[in-house]
Amino acid sequence: MNIDENRIADLEMYLTRMQRSVLDKMFFIDKVFEPFENIVDFGCANGELIKALRSMCSEYRYIGYDISEEMIEAAKQNVPEASFYTDWNAIDIPFEKSLINVSSVIHEVWSYCSREDIEEFRERLFGSGFKYIAIRDMMFSDAQDRPADPAQLEAVKRSGYSELLESFESIWGRVTTQKQLVHFLLKYKYTNNWEREVRENYFPVSVEEMLGMIPDGYRISYFEPFTLPYLSWQLRKDTGIELKENTHIKIILERR
C-alpha cells in the first residue's frame, strides 16, 4: 500500500484532529473479555492512541503499524516503550493472542489504494487469525439514504458554504441524495486540508457492505452506529441542521 502522506497539506492540524478523537477510538477496551496479550494499532500515525491506552492498560504489549516512515519515527519518540513497524511482515507476535484496532483506516484504504492493495488489507485484517478485530470508521447505511433534504441544502447555502458545496459537487457531482449531503457535511470544516479532504471518499464502503465482509470465523460481539457528538453540535452551531443520520460505526469482532 502506498498512501502518499504528502496529500496532507497541514499535518499538524491532521494530527490534532486525530488526538481529539482518542477517547472515542478506545471504545473497545472495556468490551473485550477473553484474555489476550497484544494490541496492534493499524494505521497508528504518531502513536497517540497507543500512548493513551498504555497509560490505562499497561498489561498489554503494544504494536503500531503505519506505512508512513515519518509517522513511525514520530511514534517511536512519542511512545518508546511500544514497538512500531512500517513492514507488516516484520511483526512477530502471535496474532491469535492479539487484538487489532482499525480506526479511520478502511475509508482511506478504499479511497487511495489499488484493488490488489485492498485485497491484501482484507487478508491481513480477516485472515491473520486475530482474537479480536475492533473497527471504527465513517460509514453510511444504504437504509438511511433518500433524496437530499432540501431544507438542509438551503441551510448550507444560507450559512455561507455555497462555494465549498460547489467545489464538492465539482468532484462528486450534484448533491441529490442524503448520503451525498452528509458526505459534504462531514467535510466542510476541513478547509486547511480542503484539496485532500474534498477528494477523499468518506463513504466508499456502506455499513451493509462492511457487514457482508465479515468471515464465518468471526462473530459480532459489539455493533454501534453513531454520529460524533461534536459533529452534531458543530452543524447545529454553523447551519442549524439537526443531523439524524448515523455517520460512523463501531464494530468488535471476536474469533469463534
- Report the sign of the C-alpha dihedral through residues 153, 157, 160, 166, in that order: positive
Residue 253 has pLDDT above 70, yes or no: yes
What's the grid cell of residue 96? 491469535
Q: What's the confidence (pLDDT) of residue 21?
A: 76
On the question of pLDDT at 14 being above 90, the answer is no
For residues 152 and 133, give the distance between their C-alpha atoms in angstroms, rounded to a whole number.
36
The pair phi, psi for residue 21, each rounded to 5°, is -100, 10
Alpha helices in the chain (DSSP H): 11-20, 22-25, 48-56, 69-78, 106-112, 115-127, 150-158, 162-172, 178-185, 194-197, 207-213, 229-239
Distance, in Å, from the CA atom of 104 to the CA atom of 136, rounded to the nearest integer, reads 6
pLDDT value at position 3? 46
Q: Which amino acid is at 71?
A: M
Contact 167, 195 (CB under 8 A): no
- The pTM for the full model equals 0.91
Q: What is the pLDDT of residues 240-249, one digit of tens each?
A: 999 999 999 9
Give CA–CA dist 205/182, Å, rounded: 15
- Catalogue all structural domains in the chain, each as residue range(s) with its CATH number: 5-141+201-227+246-255 (3.40.50.150)
Q: Are 111 and 142 within 8 A, CB to CB?
A: no
Residue 37 pLDDT = 98
pLDDT tens profile 170-199: 999 999 999 999 999 999 999 988 999 999
Residue 133 near residue 126 (C-beta atoms within 8 A): yes
Statement: residue 10 has pLDDT above 60: no
Q: What is the pLDDT of residue 20?
A: 62
- The total of other beta-carbon atoms located within 10 Å of residue 129's CB is 12
For the chain, report the end-to-end CA distance as a whole number of angstroms: 29
Q: How many CB atoms sit inside 10 A of residue 182's CB?
A: 28
Summarised one tens digit per residue, pLDDT across range 46-86 is 999 999 999 999 999 999 999 999 999 999 999 999 999 99
Decide the pairing of beta strands 248-255 and 218-226: antiparallel
φ/ψ (deg, to 5) at 84: -130, 145
- Alpha-carbon distance of 166 to 7, in angstroms, equals 21
Q: Rounded distance, CA 72 to CA 75, Å? A: 5
CA separation for the pair 237, 240 (Å, rounded): 6
What average pLDDT does this structure show over 123-151? 98
Q: What is the DSSP letter of 17?
A: H
| pLDDT band, very low/low/confident/very high, at 15 (cuts 50, 70, 90) | very low
